[in-house]
Amino acid sequence: MGPSLRVALCQLNTTVGDLEGNLARILKALETAEGQGAQLAVFPELAITGYPPEDLLLKSGFVDDALETLEKVVAATAGCAAMVGFVDRDGEGKLYNAAALCAGGTRVAVYRKHRLPNYSVFDEARYFEPGPGRAGVVDLARTRVGVAVCEDVWWPDGPLAGMPAAGAEVVVVLNASPYYARRADDREQVLEARAAEAGCPLIFVNQVGGQDELIFDGASRAVGADGQVRIRLPQFTESIVTVDVADLDEPAPLPPEGPTLTSEVYEALVLGTGDYARKNGFTDVVFGLSGGIDSSLVACVAADALGPEHVHAVALPSRYTADESNDYAAELAQNLGIDLRSIPIEPAYTAMLAMLGEPAEMEVGGVPHGLVTTADTAMSARAKSQIARENLQGRIRSALVWALNNKFNWLVLVCGNKSELAVGYTTAYGIDMAGGFAPIKDVWKTEIYALARERNRRAGKEVIPEAVIQRPPTAELRPGQLDQDSLPPYEVLDPILEGFVEEDRTATELIEDGHDAATVGRIVRMVDSAEWKRRQAPPGVRVSPKAFGRDRRMPITNKYRG
């Protein structure tokens, strides 16, 4: 018979800097846990401040306020104890990412995180000092409880290695582990290994919710001493589940697997978009709905995130917009029940052409829209003029959508995808880049199609018309324009981009992998040349291991062409 401790896994959606709001969530969860008979409620990493607090930690007043907030949690533990993540500070003013055991109205013990991640989206070494690295074990309800924080559990030689010698009967791990596709599977393998090495059950409690670009998917776990998962909490939603530690040593059927990869990514997009809007004070969103697949998917994500009554789509047709584009936009809006208004841009376009001294009609075919910069002196004057005319349309559309933002305080969403952003197939300050949030910024174009079909599968009908999914992509900025006029087919483009952007492979390595040398060379040049644009793009939901922005930080001025 194992230890009798009853533990509540409190998977919460906290907000960075919202000390009062986070406290209210923690206290409510603590009350729920106590009502479920729990003796210990375990909360995520830095639950008091939200994760990651970033440069708020440089403000001593913020740390003061956060420590005062922790004391209010301490005062509420007359019944159920709490293991809560907080920012600790020593007598020299050094900060630590820490976990406090609060019980009986007192702070019983503190464990300071030893392993500080400083890679990918993490920069904890900027703010925190590492803890001593010894196995943190405390006594609670006649049970020896080991404590660790997030990164500590990822290393076989970390603090968990000392748990058996310290007599730990269960290990609790506080986490704020960001999401990317299949991250929950990676974590599960690590947790299984650490539990088996520690020789005791392991309880892993992860944060959930959106924080700027980052998504925290929850997916908390309870693992038996044999390394087998006993309990899986859901992804992308708050959850409080209570477990008897003794039961974790009992044989049990494996909990059901999580959602499919495409379904998982869709849920992440919905959570990230909804939390970004709500946590930044927006109730409604607005965006341009073109009748294409990208904006159609964004419409679905927004409707699912905020409710269709809070979604406002704007059709912004030009002289080049096909009738079916308007029809598809109207059909989608009706299927979703979202607001759709139409503002033709022709009056503004005609007026601005006249202001620029441009003829009312001018067509130059074969111009690689969006893939040139002002430094492309080899282009003909006519080609440059055509580029100006095309991009002017996107910028007019952007100005109109931002005017609606000013009138109604709606958050502006942009509908550009990762493939377009990677190669610069976008208009600087245009409707595909100039926004407040970019839901599909980290989604390759080939994945957009799978997500569109996933949304229709969920509905059991064509919410996004099949004709939209089948339609060849086009920006509709000149007659007969198709993406394939300027780009390789996306099924060719995306694997090269994935290797170059997410896997950091060089052009030489990609060619050695079997990709066409000329195509690789062209794409690599396009990606490097578009860095200046990406720096000006809005934040968006991170669903890959390496997203533009927090993850991939390339110099704008860069002459390397490996």
List the structure tokens of 500.
């170059």
Over residues 107-111, mean pLDDT? 95
On whether both 314 and 236 belong to a single domain, the answer is: no
Q: Within this chain, do residues 230 and 342 fall inside the same structural domain, yes or no?
A: no
State whether 236 and 299 are in the same domain.
no
Kindly state whether residue 96 falls inside one of the protein's structural domains: yes
Same domain, 288 and 213: no
Would residue 434 count as lying in a domain?
Answer: yes
CATH of the domain at 427: 3.40.50.620
45 in catalytic set: yes
DSSP designation for 47: T
Confidence at residue 375, expressed as pLDDT on a 0 to 100 scale: 54
Strand partners, 518: none
CA atoms within 13 A on the CB side of 253: 3
Most confident of 1-15, 147-161, 456-470: 456-470
More confident position, 127 or 250: 127
Question: Which CATH number fits the domain that encloses residue 166?
Answer: 3.60.110.10
Greater confidence (542 vs 358) lies with 542
* Confidence check: pLDDT of 562 > 90: no
Give the mean model confidence (pLDDT) for residues 252-261.
70
DSSP notation for 249-314:
GS--PPPPP---HHHHHHHHHHHHHHHHHHHTT-S-EEEE--SSHHHHHHHHHHHHHH-GGGEEEE
Res 258: pLDDT = 65
**Summary mean pLDDT of the chain:** 91
How many domains are there within the chain?
Answer: 2
Q: Which of 10, 150, 200, 415 is catalytic?
A: 150
Among 225, 248, 271, the domain boundary falls at: 248
pLDDT at 107 over 50: yes
**Choice among 10, 34, 45, 300 that is catalytic:** 45
CB atoms within 10 A of CB 479: 10
Q: Render pLDDT for 263-287 as a digit per residue (tens, 0 to 9).
A: 999 999 999 999 999 999 999 999 9
Instruction: Report pLDDT for 159.
Output: 85
| pLDDT tens digit sequence for 141-183 | 899 999 999 999 998 888 888 888 899 999 999 999 999 998 9
Residue of 10, 34, 80, 113 with catalytic role: 113
Domain that holds residue 288: 263-534
187 in the same domain as 72:
yes
358, pLDDT greater than 90: no
pLDDT in tens, 167-226: 999 999 999 999 999 898 899 999 999 898 888 999 999 999 999 999 999 999 999 998
pLDDT at 253 over 80: no
Based on the fold, state whether residues 213 and 270 are members of the same structural domain: no
The residue among 248, 281, 298 that closes a domain is 248
Q: pLDDT of 377-424, one tens digit each?
A: 556 777 788 888 889 999 999 999 999 999 999 999 999 999 999 999
Residues 429 and 331 both lie in one domain = yes
Please indicate, yes or no, whether residues 40 and 181 belong to a single structural domain of this protein. yes
378 plus 421 within the same structural domain: yes
264 has catalytic annotation: no
| Helix, strand, coil percentages, rounded to 5, for the chain | 40, 20, 40
548 assigned to some structural domain? no
Residue 546 lies in a domain: no
**Could you tell me if 205 and 292 lie in one domain?**
no
Distance (Å, whole) CA 249 – CA 324: 61
Residue 459 lies in a domain: yes
Same domain, 356 and 317: yes
Confidence at residue 558, expressed as pLDDT on a 0 to 100 scale: 85
